[in-house]
């Protein structure tokens, strides 16, 4: 029993949830108080800053909900399974970097593509775009003219099986139309209001033929920091360098002059990391900027088929690099490699895989006796293929769930792979069609774009507690706005529609609810390539409404301050904002 007291709650930035009221012994306030009734809301407590997020919250800003254009709708009269939201139980402030993405070097110069620039702006303003790509980063010379190699870069590289193939370098000053130059990357950021995350060529520290290849590669990286001149805060050394597909994984010992091992190891990478970091930090100091530098970790427990490099990567990297990294980088493509996975298999992965990954990485860091630092997931998507899974509404639902689970597990950043890729009969990670998809206009957004767009549009600035009982197919990600509203993303991983009771603790709903319902169509079996937003769909064989920014939200008057009933269609999502009383 609570002792009855009178109090006035004043909480900075979240005080809009509370007022001066008398508390009593009832832990569940009367949803419809009458004269003389009392209602007490527990004040929210801002949790300590999670070390796994860290400085990625430095640019956090409070959010005010702006009521969109609306059309009248009705909320279902009868509820079912319960989603309980407690805005006083704050999980974390939401870093803006959680909704980041990847550019790459084969998506063309793009900066003159007005529709694409507008869509990226709508989705990503203030977030991060990683560059120059994944494995290409380790064969990329940022300041080189097309086909002008550094003198100590060999013409061929050794692959994992020992064969040599042409190096296939990429060049930052290549102005041809099919690629993306360094300067146009900066132009992309400027046009769309985004910030940068740059992946440095680590492979050059391995395959370089000079007397000190690590020093040469670090010098090249430092020169990029100088050229950047304070525009970019976040840098990482290499991409998936534990992988036998990566340039520098195996080198030609006859061309190496500093006694490196034939195969890369985590320990060697960690030692080289410190060389890179020292050079880059000195360069940043010269131009008066602050930078943060990330190291590549392996994201999960090695398997029986893993290479020795993978097995020993983290245990070598962490002591090798010591305290030098500012953050740690992981990648994850969630579903088994190139399998024709079902809807159920795909949508089961965000919850389990994200949590397991964060727990594993933090345990590896702690086992090495090091402090937890920000952890970023700067490549993610699904590997499933064969049924156009990657370009489907199901992958859009998966995207929302990855974002929500990454917030719950307190990642500092997630960056989806990638903005544009290659059609390949629907085995295409690209968020936008690049023009070779039959019947689809160039730069048409895919379903994942729409889900991520409405996720951020209806999400507040703090993630708060949200629990689901009565339906294991429903996932809920709830947030609060500093301006007082609640924003909730509800995902239905089942094929049947679900009526839900969204109930509140420490919050009284009032005024109106606004929402967008997203669902696939009847094309392509389980993996619809379309997304229908509040009844509005695409005018072509794939994608969503072209005027998505002007699609009206459904709106309904709230009649019960303790609950709002919501219908979430099968394999669909609802993104809803609920006003406070």
Residue 440 CA to residue 435 CA, distance in Å, equals 7
Q: Dump pLDDT digits (tens) for 425-439.
A: 999 999 999 999 999
Structure tokens at 538: 């695409």
Phi-psi region of 412 (alpha: psi -120 to 50; beta: other; left: phi over 0): alpha
Structure tokens at 358: 């964060």
Distances (CA, A) of 482 to 98, 362, 464: 18, 31, 12
Q: What is the pLDDT of residue 38?
A: 58
Start-to-end CA distance of the chain, whole Å, equals: 27
Per-residue pLDDT of the chain (581 residues; tens, 9 = 90+): 333 333 333 333 343 333 333 233 333 444 444 444 457 899 999 999 999 999 999 999 999 999 999 999 999 987 799 999 999 999 999 999 999 999 999 999 999 999 999 999 999 778 999 999 999 999 999 999 999 999 999 999 999 999 999 999 999 999 999 999 999 999 999 999 999 999 999 999 999 999 999 999 999 999 999 999 999 999 999 999 999 999 999 999 999 999 999 999 999 999 999 999 999 999 999 999 999 999 999 999 999 999 999 999 999 999 999 999 999 999 999 999 999 999 999 999 999 999 999 999 999 999 999 999 999 999 999 999 999 999 999 999 999 999 999 999 999 999 999 999 999 999 999 999 999 999 999 999 999 999 999 999 999 999 999 999 999 999 999 999 999 999 999 999 999 999 999 999 999 999 999 999 999 999 999 999 999 999 999 999 999 999 999 999 999 999 999 999 999 999 999 999 999 99
> What's the whole-model pTM score?
0.93
Q: What is the pLDDT of residue 125?
A: 76
Query: Domain ranges in the chain?
Result: 1-43, 70-93+461-580, 133-179+194-325
Nearest by Cα to 456 from 483, 479, 473, 433 = 479
Residue 552 CA to residue 155 CA, distance in Å, equals 56
CATH superfamily of 70-93+461-580: Golgi alpha-mannosidase II (2.60.40.1180)
Helices (H), 409-465: 447-457
């Amino acid at each position: 029993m609570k002792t009855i007291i009178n109090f006035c709650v004043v909480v900075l930035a979240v005080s809009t949830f509370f007022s001066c009221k008398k508390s009593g012994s009832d832990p569940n306030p009367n949803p419809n108080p009458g004269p003389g009734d009392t209602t007490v809301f527990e004040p929210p407590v801002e949790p300590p800053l999670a070390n796994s997020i860290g400085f990625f919250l430095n640019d956090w800003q409070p959010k005010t909900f702006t009521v969109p254009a609306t059309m009248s709708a009705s909320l279902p009269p009868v509820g079912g399974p319960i989603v309980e939201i407690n805005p006083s139980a704050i999980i974390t402030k939401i870093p803006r970097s959680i909704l980041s993405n990847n550019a790459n070097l084969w998506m063309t110069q793009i900066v003159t593509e007005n529709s694409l620039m507008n869509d990226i702006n709508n989705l990503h303003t203030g977030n991060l775009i990683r560059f120059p790509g994944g494995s290409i980063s380790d064969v990329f010379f940022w300041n080189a003219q097309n086909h002008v190699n550094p003198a100590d870069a060999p013409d061929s590289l050794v692959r994992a099986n020992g064969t040599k193939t042409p190096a296939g370098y990429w060049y930052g000053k290549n102005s041809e139309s099919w690629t993306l130059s360094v300067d146009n990357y900066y132009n992309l950021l400027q046009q769309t209001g985004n910030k940068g995350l740059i992946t440095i060529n680590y492979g050059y520290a391995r395959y370089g033929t000079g007397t000190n290849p690590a020093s040469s590669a670090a010098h090249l990286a430092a020169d990029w920091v100088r050229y950047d001149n304070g525009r970019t805060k976040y840098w990482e050394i290499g991409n998936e360098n534990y992988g036998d597909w990566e340039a520098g994984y195996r080198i030609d010992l006859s061309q190496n002059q500093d006694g490196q091992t034939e195969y890369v190891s985590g320990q060697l990478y960690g030692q080289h990391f410190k060389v890179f970091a020292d050079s880059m930090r000195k360069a940043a100091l010269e131009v008066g900027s602050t930078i943060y530098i990330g190291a590549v970790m392996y994201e999960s427990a090695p398997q029986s088929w893993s290479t020795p490099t993978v097995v020993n990567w983290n245990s070598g990297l962490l002591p090798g690099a010591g305290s030098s990294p500012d953050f740690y980088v992981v990648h994850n493509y969630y579903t088994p490699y190139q399998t024709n996975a079902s809807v159920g298999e795909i949508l089961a992965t965000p919850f389990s895989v994200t949590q397991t990954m964060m727990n594993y990485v933090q345990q590896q860091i702690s086992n090495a006796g090091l402090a937890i630092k920000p952890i970023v997931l700067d490549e993610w998507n699904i590997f499933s293929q064969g049924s156009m899974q990657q370009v489907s509404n199901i992958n859009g639902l998966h995207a929302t769930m990855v974002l929500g689970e990454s917030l719950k597990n307190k990642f500092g950043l997630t960056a989806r792979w990638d903005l544009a890729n290659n059609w390949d009969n629907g085995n295409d990670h690209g968020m936008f069609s690049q023009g070779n998809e039959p019947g689809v206009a160039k730069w048409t957004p895919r379903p994942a774009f729409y889900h991520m767009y409405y996720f951020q549009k209806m999400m507040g600035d703090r993630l708060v507690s949200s629990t689901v009982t009565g339906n294991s197919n429903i996932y809920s990600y709830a947030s609060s706005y500093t301006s007082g509203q609640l924003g909730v993303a509800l995902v239905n991983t089942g094929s049947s529609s679900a009526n839900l009771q969204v109930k509140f603790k420490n919050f009284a709903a009032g005024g109106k609810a606004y929402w967008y319902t997203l669902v696939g169509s009847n094309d392509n079996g389980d993996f619809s390539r379309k997304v229908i937003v509040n009844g509005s769909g695409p005018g072509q064989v794939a994608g969503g409404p072209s005027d998505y920014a002007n699609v009206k939200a459904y709106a309904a008057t709230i009649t019960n301050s303790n609950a709002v009933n919501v219908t979430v269609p099968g394999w669909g999502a609802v993104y809803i904002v609920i006003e406070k009383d």
